[in-house]
């Protein structure tokens, strides 16, 4: 029993040492704040030694996730209390950004990622296509009535 | 703050819109208003000078694509002059560079 407890403790400590950075930002869900967010995230990414090209990729992906919240998550009724929460951390050599809202949510299976070549409706799904092609991973967790969490991942460059 | 600004330069046969800064959800509304007006007038060839644009996302691309599509109905094209490699990359990923949007690096390329 005793040795089991110790090993759990060591696991936690190990995880803690792998978490280099963890911060959260809470902003109103309005377009003028997106530039502030991408500059902040770019600053953190540059501290982590990402190259300029990767930093630009991250800036666009984060902006697309915020755009998605601003354009779709909140209805006129709750517009005054609408917020976007970003959680930013590095763990196990991955830079992870989560973009969360408490809006109306949707069924992610009904949204298709697309580009203009295969979709005549311009712009539809383009933001999602950008997140997926510019990051190592991009996933959407949502259901109607339960808000949305978008998770973006990019491998941290090894020094 | 980087922000966004635009300035219209009317020439005899062309109208150049000189853009500066970042085209995102916030600034694309201003760009859309200007472009919609120019497309409606349909007086000259429309050239967007992209030289000083450092950032564009799907909302900016969507705004440009929407106006290019409207121009297509008037048998015209929308020209984007001197896109930075970064901006060009976004057009390529989106596939919009094949949609009545012509990326040019010299005014001689205007048809």
B33-92 residues touching A, CB cutoff 8 A: 55, 57-59, 61-62, 65-66, 69, 86, 90
Identify from A116, A132, A138 which residue to disrupt to test chain B contact, counting B C-beta atoms within 10 A and taking the largest count. A116
So what's the pLDDT on residue A101?
96
Q: Which of B26, B66, B98 sits opposite A32 (nearest CB)?
A: B26
Per CB-CB distance under 8 Å, the chain A contacts of B1 are 35
If DSSP codes are grouped into helix, strand and coil, which group holds residue B73? coil
| Average pLDDT score, chain A | 83
What single string gives the DSSP state of each residue in B33-62? Answer: HHHHHHHHH--SEEEEEEEEEEEE-HHHHH
Contact B94 A133 (CB under 8 A): no
Are B83 and B50 in contact, with CB atoms under 8 Å apart? yes
Q: How many Cβ atoms are within 10 Å of B63's Cβ, its own excluded?
A: 24
So what's the pLDDT on residue A45?
94
Contact A130 B25 (CB under 8 A): no
Per CB-CB distance under 8 Å, the chain A contacts of B84 are none
Distance CA(A138)–CA(A131), nearest Å, equals 6
Q: Which of B57, B86, B98 sits opposite A67 (nearest CB)?
A: B57
Per-residue pLDDT band at A3 (split at 50, 70, 90):
very low
**Cα-only R_g, chain B:** 13
Contact A115 B93 (CB under 8 A): yes
pLDDT digit string, tens, across residues B49-100 = 999 999 999 999 999 999 999 999 999 999 999 999 999 999 988 888 777 8
Contact B65 A116 (CB under 8 A): yes
Sign of CA dihedral A134, A103, A114, B75: negative
Cα end-to-end span (Å), chain A: 40
Contact B62 A60 (CB under 8 A): no
Q: Which of A67, A117, A134 sits opposite B25 (nearest CB)?
A: A67
Which residue in A has a C-alpha nearest to residue B96's C-alpha?
Answer: A116
Q: At residue A75, does pLDDT exceed 90?
A: no
Q: At residue A110, does pLDDT exceed 90?
A: no
Per-residue pLDDT band at B110 (split at 50, 70, 90):
confident
Measuring CA to CA, how many Å separate A145 from each of A99, A109, A142, B109? 17, 15, 9, 51
Query: Structure tokens of B106?
Result: 């010299």
pTM for this prediction? 0.86
Min distance B12 CA to chain A CA atoms (Å): 32
So what's the pLDDT on residue A77?
72
pLDDT digit string, tens, across residues A34-56 = 999 999 999 999 999 999 999 99
Which residue in A has a C-alpha nearest to residue B4's C-alpha?
Answer: A35
Sign of CA dihedral A109, A110, A116, A117: positive
If DSSP codes are grouped into helix, strand and coil, which group holds residue A117? coil
Instruction: Find where tokens 């190592």 sit.
Output: A136
């Amino acid at each position: 029993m005793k040795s089991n407890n110790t090993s759990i403790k060591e696991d936690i400590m190990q995880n803690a040492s792998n978490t280099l950075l963890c911060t959260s930002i809470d902003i109103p869900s309005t377009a003028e704040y997106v530039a502030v967010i991408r500059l902040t995230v770019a600053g953190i990414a540059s501290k982590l030694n990402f190259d300029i090209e990767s930093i630009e990729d991250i800036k666009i992906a984060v902006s697309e996730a915020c755009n998605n919240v601003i354009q779709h998550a909140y209805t006129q009724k709750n517009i005054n209390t609408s917020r976007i929460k970003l959680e930013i951390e590095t763990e196990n050599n991955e830079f992870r950004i989560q973009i969360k809202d408490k809006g109306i949510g949707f069924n992610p299976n009904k949204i298709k990622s697309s580009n203009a070549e295969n979709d005549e409706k311009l712009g539809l799904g383009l933001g999602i296509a950008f997140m997926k092609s510019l990051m190592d991973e991009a996933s959407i967790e949502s259901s109607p009535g339960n808000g949305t969490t978008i998770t973006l991942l990019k491998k941290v460059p090894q020094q | 703050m980087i922000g966004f600004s635009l300035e219209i330069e009317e020439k005899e046969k062309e109208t150049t819109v000189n853009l500066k800064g970042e085209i995102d959800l916030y600034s694309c509304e201003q760009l859309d208003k200007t472009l919609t007006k120019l497309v409606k007038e349909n007086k000259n060839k429309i050239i967007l000078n992209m030289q000083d644009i450092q950032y564009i996302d799907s909302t900016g691309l969507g705004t440009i694509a929407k106006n290019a599509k409207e121009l297509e109905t008037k048998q015209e094209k929308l020209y984007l002059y001197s896109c930075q490699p970064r901006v060009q990359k976004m057009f390529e990923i989106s596939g919009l560079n094949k949609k009545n949007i012509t990326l040019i690096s010299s005014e001689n390329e205007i048809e």
